[in-house]
């Protein structure tokens, strides 16, 4: 069946490619209020030249311009209705399909579109009969899936998060901005409105994908090193290292990470921190963890889930800056800015008496992060973490600063959020914004308490 489906998509791509060469066609939808309008006629060389120039401009523009767009932009994609229905029905396959895409009324071209997510945001959005039970799903666009050289604002991929658990639509943006303010290498994020075949899907979080284009931008002097997703030194067998590779999959030399993992795992208990410091910037890690604590991230490097056989933490990347320097990058920070009374797993600075215990959370089980060698080592000297937390509390995480950011974002996305046809999960957008404002003093008090311990 999958083989037949693949040939079906190839045939449709060929048809779409031919059609795109003949003009924009009926399937293309232009935004009524786009800043740059395009004619639907292709009878004159002037119109064709203008369209080609717009496509070229979209490809060459810098990603910073997209994430600093002066208003919430709109993406339109079009594909046969039957294909859209099939894509939704098979969302968990996470397979790209060809669509025609435009941005603010300007053609992008033929790109790949698929759904994305993890257990909470994708797999759990379907019941046992395969029916989608979430109001919408997160998506990813791949601009070079069918045209190898095609780029959009210099990027190959772009993520759109549905934020089905965040009625304010701004928790991830706030978290990423705090990471960035503390010198952490962080994806850019903003918002966009998505439409499929003219149907309004609503407001999504637009997030820069952490990939080779990302590393080239952040590390121009070493752009092509290994990027790993969710790979922790205490859980890094050869199979896990290879599976975690996001770049250089076919030619990667993984010996540096193997050496890092072996050194951390084999070090004497009293020497783990020094060993860790040979491979990671401990001040950077302290700042990373201070933000992790400030935003109250339950679904990050400290969440060591287990299925009874495998154990790992998630929602981060690691970049190999050099054979002896590995750098953390945050990812998927939607599950932040709330204090869950049902979260019984100890804080990462606490080592329970029995490290074989697991703690129920989100329908699964997790080990205490303090039982991991890395966190036990960090706990032996918390001075840098406390200093970073104090810098946060007195600076970017100050109450007035955070409230101002929330109000600024609410004003920016308010119209798009209120007109979003997707029903909110817990409350209205405006109430969610107020709830978020109310959370800041509580989170600050929690961080103050942690620092004082």
Mean pLDDT of the chain: 87
Q: Which of 80-84, 128-132, 206-210, 263-267 has the lowest mean pLDDT?
A: 128-132
- Stronger pLDDT, 190 or 121, i.e. the higher one: 190
Distance CA 239, CA 342 (A): 34
CB 192 within 8 A of CB 71: no
**pLDDT at residue 45 in the model:** 35
Res 121: pLDDT: 57
pLDDT at 136: 84
**Among 270, 264, 327, 263, which residue's Cα sits nearest to residue 301?**
327
- Encode pLDDT of 392-436 as tens digits: 999 999 999 999 999 999 999 999 999 999 988 899 999 999 999
Percent of the residues in the chain that have a pLDDT greater than 90, as a whole number: 73
Over range 246-266, report the average pLDDT. 96
| Most confident stretch, 3-7, 13-17, 142-146 | 142-146
Ramachandran angles phi, psi of 7, nearest 5°: -65, -35
Looking at the DSSP assignment, which residues form a beta bridge with residue 228? 245, 318
Q: How confident is the model at residue 24 (pLDDT cuts 50, 70, 90)?
A: very low
- Span between the terminal Cα atoms of the chain, in Å: 58
**pLDDT tens per residue across span 79-93:** 999 999 988 888 777
What is the per-residue pLDDT for 39? 31
21 pLDDT above the threshold of 80:
no
Rounded Cα–Cα distance for residues 265 and 254 (Å)? 17
Q: Which of 111, 105, 140, 145 is nearest to 24 (CA)?
A: 105
* Burial label, 311 (beta-carbon count in 10 A; 0-12, 13-18, 19+): middle
pLDDT 10s digits, 140-182: 999 999 999 999 999 999 999 999 889 999 999 999 999 999 9
Is the pLDDT at 119 greater than 60? The verdict is no
Of 50, 100, 57, 38, give the one whose Cα is nearest residue 75: 100
Residues 53-88 as b/e (b if ≥16 CB within 10 A, e otherwise) read ebbeebbeeebeebbebeebbbbbbbbeeebbebbe
> What is the mean predicted confidence (pLDDT) over 61-77?
96
pLDDT of residue 53: 60
The per-residue pLDDT for 130 is: 72
Q: Distance between CA atoms of 198 and 180, rounded to whole angstroms?
A: 36
- Domain ranges within the chain, ordered by starting residue: 2-162, 221-392
**d(C-alpha 75, C-alpha 108), whole Å:** 10
The full 3-state SS of the chain, as one line of letters, equals CHHHHHHHHHHHHHHHHHHHHHCCCCCCCCCCCCCCCCCCCCCCHHHHHHHHHHHHHHHHCCHHHHHCCCCCCEEEEECCHHHHHHHHHCHHHCCCEEEEEEECCEEEEEEEEEEECCCCCCHHHECCCCCECCCCCEEEEECCCCCCCCCECCECEEEEECCCCCCCCCHHHHHHHHHHHCCCCCCCEEEEEEEECCEEEEEEEEEECCCHHHHHHHCCCCCCCCEEECCECCECCHHHHHHHECCCCCCCCCHHHHHHHHHHHHCCHHHHHHHHHHHCCHHHHHHHHHHHHHCCCCCCCCCEEECCCCEECCCEEEEEEECCEEEEEECCCCCCCCCCCCCCCCCCCCCCCCCCCEEEECCEEEECHHHCHHHHHHHCCCHHHHHHHHHHHHCCCCHHHHHHHHHHHHHHHHHHHHCCCCCCCCCCHHHHHHHHHHHHHHHHHHHHHHHHC
pTM, two decimals, is 0.86
């Amino acid at each position: 069946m999958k083989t037949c489906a693949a040939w079906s998509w190839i045939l449709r791509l060929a048809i779409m490619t031919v059609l795109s060469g003949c003009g924009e066609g009926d399937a293309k939808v232009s935004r009524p209020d786009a800043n740059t309008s395009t004619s639907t006629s292709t009878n004159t060389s002037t119109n064709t030249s203008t369209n080609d120039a717009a496509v070229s401009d979209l490809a060459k523009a810098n990603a910073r311009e997209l994430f600093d767009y002066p208003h919430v932009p709109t993406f339109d994609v079009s594909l046969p209705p039957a294909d859209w229905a099939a894509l939704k029905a098979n969302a968990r396959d996470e397979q790209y399909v060809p669509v025609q895409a435009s941005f603010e009324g300007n053609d992008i071209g033929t790109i790949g579109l698929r759904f994305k997510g993890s257990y909470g945001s994708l797999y759990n959005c379907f019941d046992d009969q395969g029916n989608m039970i979430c109001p919408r799903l997160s998506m990813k666009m791949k601009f070079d899936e069918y045209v190898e050289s095609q780029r959009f604002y210099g990027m190959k991929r772009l993520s759109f998060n549905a934020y089905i658990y965040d009625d304010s639509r701004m928790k991830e943006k706030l978290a990423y901005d705090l990471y960035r303010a503390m010198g952490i290498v962080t994806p850019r994020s903003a918002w966009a409105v998505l439409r499929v075949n003219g149907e309004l899907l609503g407001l999504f979080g637009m997030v820069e994908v952490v990939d080779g284009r990302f590393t080239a931008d952040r590390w121009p002097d070493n752009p092509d090193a290994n990027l790993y997703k969710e790979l922790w030194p205490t859980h890094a067998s050869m199979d896990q290292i290879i599976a975690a590779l996001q770049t250089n999959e076919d030619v990667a030399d993984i010996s540096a990470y193997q050496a890092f993992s072996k050194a951390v795992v084999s070090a004497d208990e009293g020497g783990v921190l020094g060993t860790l410091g040979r491979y990671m910037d401990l001040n950077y890690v302290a700042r990373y963890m201070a933000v992790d604590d400030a935003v109250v991230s339950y679904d990050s490097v400290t969440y060591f889930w287990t299925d009874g056989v495998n154990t790992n933490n998630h929602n981060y990347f690691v970049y190999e800056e050099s054979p002896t320097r590995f750098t953390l990058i945050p990812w998927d920070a939607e599950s932040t800015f709330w204090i869950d009374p049902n979260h019984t797993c100890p804080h990462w600075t606490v080592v329970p008496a029995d490290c074989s215990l697991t703690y129920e959370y989100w329908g699964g089980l997790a080990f205490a992060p303090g039982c991991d060698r890395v966190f036990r080592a960090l706990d032996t000297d918390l001075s840098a973490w406390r200093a970073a937390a104090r810098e946060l509390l007195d600076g970017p995480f100050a109450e007035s600063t955070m409230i101002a950011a929330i109000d600024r974002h609410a004003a920016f996305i308010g119209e798009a959020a209120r007109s979003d046809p997707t029903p909110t999960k817990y409350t209205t957008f405006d109430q969610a914004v107020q709830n978020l404002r109310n959370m800041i003093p509580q989170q600050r008090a929690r961080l103050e308490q942690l620092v004082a311990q």
